[in-house]
Amino acid sequence: MKGIRSGFRALQSVSPAAAAWLAERLFFTPPRQRSELPAAIEALLARARRFELRVERRRVVGWRWGEGPAVYLVHGWGSRANRLLGLAPPLLDAGYSVVAFDAPGHGASGRGMSSIPEFARTLEAVVAEQGAAHAVIAHSLGAAATALAVAWGLAVRRLVFLAPPADPASWVHAFAQRLGLRNDVVARLRARSEARLRMRWADLNIPRAAQGMAVPLLVAHDENDEKVAWRDGAEIAAAWPGARLITTTGLGHGGVVRAPAVARDVVAFATAPEPGPPWHDESERLECELFYRELRWAHAV
């Protein structure tokens, strides 16, 4: 890290534009990790229907199981689809289909830079190809991308966010501090990325966007999360109308995805039946409208 800091110190003094170009590539390029998969996950992947599509000229790889209403799984930064596949068996047992994909720059999908807007556009494209989303279950940065896709108009009945960040754009401050970047170089990095991604960093603030949301949301966040502070999830849940917050202890950032107790709550919420109207035919509807106004307003809410 000392060598990298020294290199940036020299580069930004000679060419701030070049330093911003390099910093942008580092900030938006996800780490790629390979790890042995549990046998159950390997077997699950072997049974999947694998699909591929192009999203903004980039290859995206995904998998589908089952035939029922679709529940989409969205992984986090530097991760891949198999991270969330522990949720697939109970969803399939409940009669739902499961769709997962590796976001651009991750897993089996095309390499290179990635970002929250690219995650969001990929989710939109996958849903357009694979069919309507009953629910989306998303982890970490994938939750921020899902919120962005919903703000853009993605139709979904239920949302689950696991360890979601409230304001991912703020992560650039720690990145700049580690590399010793000057403020003017960070400003160039921001301007370059906003032009490339066709959106403002300010639009990535999830609590701000949450105020206009109507989709039922469950947030699960561990108070000992070492990567995304618990207060981020709590802030999102407080700002999102009607959202429910589950707080865990001792699971950490990744453990909240794997914990059986959390999985039970997540699957129960994602597959909960939608409330129906309080009438069965037109005569009951008229009676409700005329004589049971409080019931009518309860249904409207």
pLDDT digits (tens, 9 = 90+) for 108-136: 999 999 999 999 999 999 999 999 999 99
Average pLDDT over residues 237-256: 96
164 pLDDT exceeds 80? Answer: yes
Would you say 149 and 103 are in contact if contact means Cβ atoms under 8 Å apart? no
Identify whether residues 122 and 12 lie together within a single domain.
no
Concatenated DSSP letters of the chain: -HHHHHHHHHHHHH-HHHHHHHHHHHHT-------PPPHHHHHHHHHSEEEEEEETTEEEEEEEE-SSSEEEEE--TT--GGGGGGGHHHHHHTT-EEEEEEPTTSTTSPPS---HHHHHHHHHHHHHHH--EEEEEEETHHHHHHHHHHHHT--EEEEEEES--S-GGGHHHHHHHHHT--HHHHHHHHHHHHHHHTS-GGGG-HHHHHTT--S-EEEEEETT-SSS-HHHHHHHHHHSTT-EEEEESS-HHHHHHH-HHHHHHHHHHHTPPPPPPS-SSHHHHHHHHHH-HHHHHHHH-
Task: Provide the pLDDT for residue 275.
Answer: 55
CA distance 221 to 109: 28
**Which of 155, 177, 204 is the C-terminal boundary of a domain?**
204
Identify whether residues 161 and 210 lie together within a single domain.
yes
Task: Provide the pLDDT for residue 202.
Answer: 87
Residue 292: domain span:
277-301
Compute φ and ψ for 237, nearest 5 degrees: -60, -35
- Per-residue model confidence as pLDDT tens digits over 138-152: 999 999 999 999 999
Strands 133-139 and 156-162: parallel
**CA distances for 198 relative to 105, 115, 136, 147, 277, angstroms:** 18, 12, 24, 17, 41
Identify whether residues 67 and 183 lie together within a single domain.
no
Identify whether residues 153 and 300 lie together within a single domain.
no
Identify whether residues 163 and 86 lie together within a single domain.
yes
Identify whether residues 263 and 295 lie together within a single domain.
no
Identify whether residues 152 and 244 lie together within a single domain.
yes
* Average pLDDT value for the chain: 89
**Which of 158, 185, 204 is the C-terminal boundary of a domain?**
204
Residue 279 pLDDT class (50, 70, 90 cuts): very low
Average pLDDT over residues 219-247: 97
CATH number at residue 91: 3.40.50.1820
Identify whether residues 42 and 135 lie together within a single domain.
yes
Percentage, residues of the chain above pLDDT 90: 80
Identify whether residues 62 and 140 lie together within a single domain.
yes
How is residue 296 written in tokens? Answer: 């009518």
Identify whether residues 195 and 47 lie together within a single domain.
no
**Which of 157, 187, 204 is the C-terminal boundary of a domain?**
204
Average pLDDT over residues 60-68: 96
> Lowest-confidence range among 99-113, 131-145, 220-234, 261-275?
261-275
Provide the domain count of the chain: 3
239 pLDDT exceeds 90? Answer: yes
Identify whether residues 42 and 92 lie together within a single domain.
yes
Task: Provide the pLDDT for residue 278.
Answer: 42
Identify whether residues 100 and 220 lie together within a single domain.
yes
Largest CA distance in the chain: 79
Task: Provide the pLDDT for residue 4.
Answer: 83
Average pLDDT over residues 24-37: 86
